[in-house]
Structure 1
Amino acid sequence: MVKEGSQTRLGKAFEYACIKALYDKYDDLQDVVLEITPQLHTAQHCFEVSAVKQSNLMDAAQAAIRVIEPLEPRLQYPDGDSPLVLSLQSDAAGIAGDVRDVMCIRRGSSWQFGLSCKHNHHAVKHSRLSDSIDFGSEWFNHPCSQIYFSEVTPKFQELREMRDSGKEIGTPAKWANLPDKAGDYYRPILQSFMDELSRLNNSHGDVPEMLIRYLIGRHDFYKVITDDPRRVTRVEAINIAGTLNKASKEQKPITRVPVLKLPKRFYHIGFKETNGKESNNTIHVVCDEGWEISMRLHNASSRIEPSLKFDVQLISFPSKLFAQTIAWK
């Protein structure tokens, strides 16, 4: 039995529920190919949870399909004899910029779409910062300045020395033992990050657009989010390139999914404020076209390491975003 409290495992279990719900829905109606891959075996293993949890996962997945089916007529109407191929993508695809977990493909045609499956959370990316990571190059294809590295390198070097000292004495250095980890590390590193983001934006006009492209991936997709306490599923259509919502020869989509515009400028980059008090570990980036991003910096482990991790949430989308919340059965 898989431990149910593991968010990563429940995420994989939800991926399996979504692909299983698609297969169960269409296998009796047409030729469906379920690709047997290591990713599928992993997700199936993670689905080995309690009967109640399995039922909830399937209810959430089936609700999502009820929303998506009218938007993607070629799920039901194949425009020929090409089978519907269902597959799970590897984690390496996400690292390479493709955030889709479940793929629906018609072989022999250009039609396909994917689902990004989220179990009780909305996070889109878990990027890291360190003195060896050039986030400008990785995110925007524009290298970070030496000013940025001269500011953050001493901070990460301090963390590295603490980690190495702990190894030498056989007692791992812990974040909990630092008197002010936020004030000493999170906040100054975030300030340097924000300053560099502004510098890159001043030198390269495509940084706001590239930031969103980096966070949401290189392909259009449907984001499927469970909300177990409310027993609902939310479906968001991230349709930037206009590849979603295509008609078949026999059927048009019942609802139009708008194409979203990418931002061209930053309106605000600063620490999150709550009741007039600034956060020490979270910043907000506000762009035009309705995009707003929350970026929380944190240590991914209890042990001190010379890197920090972002938890990124898209907290505001363009007003044209197609989003629907549907109750489970």
Structure 2
Amino acid sequence: MAGQMKAGKAFEYAILREFKGKLEKLTTVKVIDNSPLILAKECFHGFDTQKQGRYLLTASFAVNFLIDIEPRLSNDIDETDILELEILPDSQGEIGDVRDVLAIRAVQKWEIGVSAKNNHKAVKHSRLSPDIDFGKKWLGVNCSSNYFSKVNPIFAKLKDMQKKSDGMRTWGSIDAKSLIVYTPILNAFKDELQRLYDADKERISRQL
């Protein structure tokens, strides 16, 4: 198996594991035991503990965000309302279903899917930047000036670091990336998405 594919499968398992770990404290959770799960688990355990930790940390950010904005993940309606977690086979992608991990509530006839992207090009291509209005691009509603006032100084600081080093500063050389970059940007993104959702729940729900 190619390294990139192995990493992708490992990340799928990390997402499912984080879903299970966080949600089984709040509701009844069942993991669908299938061949994609077995493969993803094998790929995950094929990496060293440091790499596994990185996958789990990244997955934790995503899962926490989804739990915050989607109450049905953690709230059942009765004891028969079980949340099922499933890793989908690659064959689903061949018919246009890009979701990798599913959370399903059959009793409520509801499900939510996650497309687990963990390749270099996806990380390199910035989905969030000082110039990208993700609200307009993804949801058709402009982000607020308050959102940009939070993220722009962070991107400006990164740009200044690069300029002062004549373009030689590497991402790996930046200390405390989680504290000064990841966490504040993700918090600003989360707060803005929540604001957009609160302003027009029906419209935003259709777009997510």
SS of residue matched to 2:63: helix
The alignment's TM-score, normalised by the length of structure 2, stands at 0.59
Larger helix fraction of residues: 2
The alpha-carbon distance between structure 1 residues 260 and 65, as it changes in their structure 2 partners (threshold 3 A), is closer
Task: Check whether the contact 1:13–1:46 (CA below 8 A) recurs between aligned residues.
Answer: yes
- Which letter maps to 1:32? V
* Count of residues paired in the alignment: 142
Counterpart mapping for 1:132-211 below 5 A: none
In 2, Cα distance between equivalents of 1:11 and 1:91: 11
Partner of 1:91: 90
Task: Check whether the contact 2:86–2:101 (CA below 8 A) recurs between aligned residues.
Answer: yes
Q: Provide the identity percentage.
A: 29
**Which structure has the larger Rg?**
1
2:99 corresponds to 1:122: no
Partner of 1:158: none
Partner of 2:38: 41
In 1, Cα distance between equivalents of 2:4 and 2:112: 25
In 2, Cα distance between equivalents of 1:116 and 1:95: 14
Partner of 1:79: 77
The alignment's TM-score, normalised by the length of structure 1, stands at 0.38
- Of 10, 18, 24, which residue of structure 2 is paired with 1:27? 24
In 1, Cα distance between equivalents of 2:12 and 2:198: 26
- Of 50, 53, 59, which residue of structure 2 is paired with 1:52? 50
In 2, Cα distance between equivalents of 1:84 and 1:108: 9
- Gap regions ≥5 residues in structure 2: 124-170
Task: Check whether the contact 2:7–2:118 (CA below 8 A) recurs between aligned residues.
Answer: yes
Task: Check whether the contact 1:101–1:114 (CA below 8 A) recurs between aligned residues.
Answer: yes
| Residue 37 of structure 1, CA deviation | 0.4
- Alpha-carbon RMSD: 3.4
Task: Check whether the contact 2:26–2:75 (CA below 8 A) recurs between aligned residues.
Answer: no
- The higher relative CO (CA closer than 8 Å, separation ≥ 6) is in 1
- Gap regions ≥5 residues in structure 1: 124-227, 237-244, 246-252, 262-320, 323-329
The alpha-carbon distance between structure 1 residues 254 and 40, as it changes in their structure 2 partners (threshold 3 A), is farther
Larger strand fraction of residues: 1
